[in-house]
Amino acid sequence: MANGKKVRTLGVLTGGGDCPGLNAVIRAIVLTAEREGVRVQGIRNAYSGLIHQQFTELDSSKVDHLLQYGGTMLGSSNRDNPFQFMMTIDGEHRAVDVSETVIKNFHQAGLDGLIAIGGDGTLKITHKLTQMGLPAVCVPKTIDNDLLATDVTFGFDTAVGIATEAIDRIRTTAESHGRLMVVEVMGRNAGWIALFSGLAGGADVILIPEIPFSLQAIVNEIRSDRSAGKNFSIIVVAEGARQKDGEVVVKKMVDDPTEPRRLGGIGNVVGQLLEDETGYETRATVLGHIQRGGTPSTYDRNLSTRFGVHAARCAIEGKFGHLVALQKGLIELVPLAEAAEGQRLVSPDSDFIRVARSVGISFGDEL
């Protein structure tokens, strides 16, 4: 053992937003641990479960059927940061540091190691806790595909597939009615879902956060297509896209000190602006949480299983303080200190962008 102590019981939690493949990771962890004689305790509702001591014993009988199910059997949360945990004290609702409580409850539960499955927020929280002595391993999860340490995150492939199918369906009704159709997809500050689904769905325009757009450039593209005889246009918009010198569109602010902004609404804004400018009938569709739900794709099931097996082995061998990551087709261990830093964004000079431009897709930046 790397830390000199035999691991007998592991805890596992899912943090941040849900996504397809979480249950597959949990299943792989439990099945792998069970074969090594290691018990697994599920922790409910992310780090909130360690704060409130909410545990559930997991074994093969409880997880073996989970491979094809989306969501997470353990529940999740993207608000319960132990270092800024919202509590009401003396009638005042404020953020409190309860990280010491997390460490104490972890040991009281008889856990020897933790596997935290989550995105950038979960990685940063877990890294800070490891610096306080918590023995933990992380698994990268997010449909946004924006974690720098891994080539891809599970959940992304499924989300792209769902968005692409939606674009395919919207395309037929757009052509039937000669409309402009705007499709808003998720991704926060990263444009991966919009780029991949827009390219696969044959969009005319793709708007991503990494390339601020000009409304006039989109109008020019639409008018050019109409002059060439095309009677409809598909515009795919990432939720974090913004106009040049503009701001992202915020759907609402929430009581979350870690990330109070909830993005959303740019699709409707773009749709209305285009209809006003061009006079063409326009409809906007916001895919929202449809992209995060349902059955994981074959690729995501297999990637989730690989991540789960390697995370369990890493924890059982006492190799804590790491993220299991996919790099050049192989599962590698990346120190959490490195994994928690930076964000994987679309490069405006990437091959995918060049390919899209080569087949005539506009990114709203050409005037």
Per-residue model confidence as pLDDT tens digits over 330-350: 999 999 999 988 899 999 999
Using H for helix, E for strand and C for coil, what is the string for 85-130? EEEEECCEEEEECCHHHHHHHHHHCCCCEEEEEECHHHHHHHHHHH
- Quote the DSSP letter at residue 327: E
Q: Which pLDDT score is estimated for 76?
A: 92
Q: Look at 75-79, 212-216, 251-255 and tell me which has the smallest mean pLDDT.
A: 251-255
Domains 9-154+296-327 and 157-293+347-358 share a fold: yes
CATH architecture label of 9-154+296-327: 3-Layer(aba) Sandwich (3.40)
For 299-308, give one letter per residue: b (16+ CB within 10 A) or e: bbbebbbbbb
- Quote the DSSP letter at residue 249: P
Q: Which pLDDT score is estimated for 258?
A: 62
The residue written with tokens 């972890």 in the block is 106
Q: Name the token pair of 68.
A: 């094809």
Q: Name the token pair of 297.
A: 């794709």
Provide, rounded to the nearest whole percent, the portion of the chain with pLDDT above 90: 86
Domain 157-293+347-358 sits in CATH at: 3.40.50.460
Annotated active-site residue 144? The verdict is: yes
What are the angstrom distances between the C-alpha of 25 and each of 69, 203, 305?
A: 11, 33, 5
For residues 180 and 233, what is the distance between their CA atoms, to the nearest angstrom? Answer: 5
Of 18, 112, 120, 144, the catalytic one is 144
Q: Which pLDDT score is estimated for 153?
A: 96
Q: Which pLDDT score is estimated for 88?
A: 83
Residues 6+ away with beta carbon under 8 Å from 272: 282, 284
Q: Which pLDDT score is estimated for 300?
A: 97
Per-residue model confidence as pLDDT tens digits over 24-53: 999 999 999 999 999 999 999 999 999 999
Per-residue model confidence as pLDDT tens digits over 252-296: 776 665 667 778 899 999 999 999 999 999 999 999 999 999 999
For residues 158 and 219, what is the distance between their CA atoms, to the nearest angstrom? Answer: 31
Average pLDDT, the chain: 94
Q: Which pLDDT score is estimated for 255?
A: 66
Spell out the domain ranges in the chain. Answer: 9-154+296-327, 157-293+347-358
- pTM comes to 0.94
Res. 1: pLDDT tops 50: no
Q: Look at 76-90, 108-122, 136-150 and tell me which has the smallest mean pLDDT.
A: 76-90
Q: Look at 158-162, 187-191, 205-209 and tell me which has the smallest mean pLDDT.
A: 187-191
Q: Which pLDDT score is estimated for 49?
A: 96
For residues 139 and 119, what is the distance between their CA atoms, to the nearest angstrom? Answer: 8
Provide, rounded to the nearest whole percent, the portion of the chain with pLDDT above 70: 97
Residues 6+ away with beta carbon under 8 Å from 170: 181, 183, 234, 285
Helices (H), the chain: 22-35, 47-51, 60-63, 99-108, 120-130, 156-177, 192-200, 215-227, 266-278, 298-316, 336-339, 351-358
